[in-house]
Amino acid sequence: MQETMEDLLPAELRDFLSCETPDAWLDAALAHPDLLLIDHAQCEKKAASTAMSLMYRYVDRPLLLTKMSQLAREELLHFEQVIRVMESRGIEYRHLSASRYAEGLRRHVRREDPQRLVDILIIGAYIEARSCERFARLIPHLDAELAKFYRSLVKSEGRHYEDYLMLARRYAAEANDTSVEARIVFFAECERQLICEPDEVFRFHSGVPAAA
């Protein structure tokens, strides 16, 4: 029996995202399996480096340091796993330009701390939740090896999303910043646009393929 999104994703995570990945993205992903894996590797590497850069900037927050250190290690393991899959399939790693997605979210980050940190953490939660949703979306269409791998990623990226969101709420509360829920809603809408509007380039986090 084919797994549904309800089987694969926690309801809370599905509610957090404002839209499902459009079918047109899924079609493009299945038509470009090599590109998908290369960009996936790229995303894992970037997820690790985002976590590391937070560790450099916010040295006075022990919970953040611990969570980000764990997260960076996990993302690097994912990176190694993707590289192994690519190698076994004869797919060569090459440099790809970044999609508009992460930058499209980060351009809205407020400048001053702790608002800056809160926004970056909320964005982290969206990136993790969307990755999780895309893995789940792909799983029913993949071969057994990749489906198994992506099922394990759904679990860990789901945890990462929870950690980012927990940290955002915690540091906002500590600073008596009451804007956090409104910021979550704000970024939900930015994220929805990036996912549901036409996009020239196909990537792991791209929008609807423009000229399908």
Please give the structure tokens belonging to residue 97.
Answer: 């330009």
Cβ proximity to Fe ion: between 128 and 133 the closer is 128
Cβ proximity to Fe ion: between 119 and 157 the closer is 157
Measured distance CA(170)–CA(176) in Å, rounded: 10
CA 13 to chain CA centroid, Å, is 12
Cβ proximity to Fe ion: between 47 and 195 the closer is 47
Binding site for Fe ion (CB under 5 A): 44, 47, 75, 78, 128, 157, 160
Cβ proximity to Fe ion: between 157 and 191 the closer is 157
Measured distance CA(4)–CA(24) in Å, rounded: 18
Smallest gap, in angstroms, from Cβ of residue 175 to Fe ion? 25
Smallest gap, in angstroms, from Cβ of residue 78 to Fe ion? 4
User: Both ends of the chain: CA-CA distance in Å?
Assistant: 30
Amino acid 74 reads E
Smallest gap, in angstroms, from Cβ of residue 178 to Fe ion? 28
Cβ proximity to Fe ion: between 58 and 126 the closer is 126
Smallest gap, in angstroms, from Cβ of residue 128 to Fe ion? 5
Other Cβ atoms within 10 Å of 144 Cβ, number: 7
Smallest gap, in angstroms, from Cβ of residue 41 to Fe ion? 10
Length of the chain: 212
Beta strand residue intervals within the chain, DSSP E: 198-199, 208-209
Measured distance CA(94)–CA(107) in Å, rounded: 27
Contacts of 108 (CB under 8 A, 6+ apart): 119, 186, 187, 190
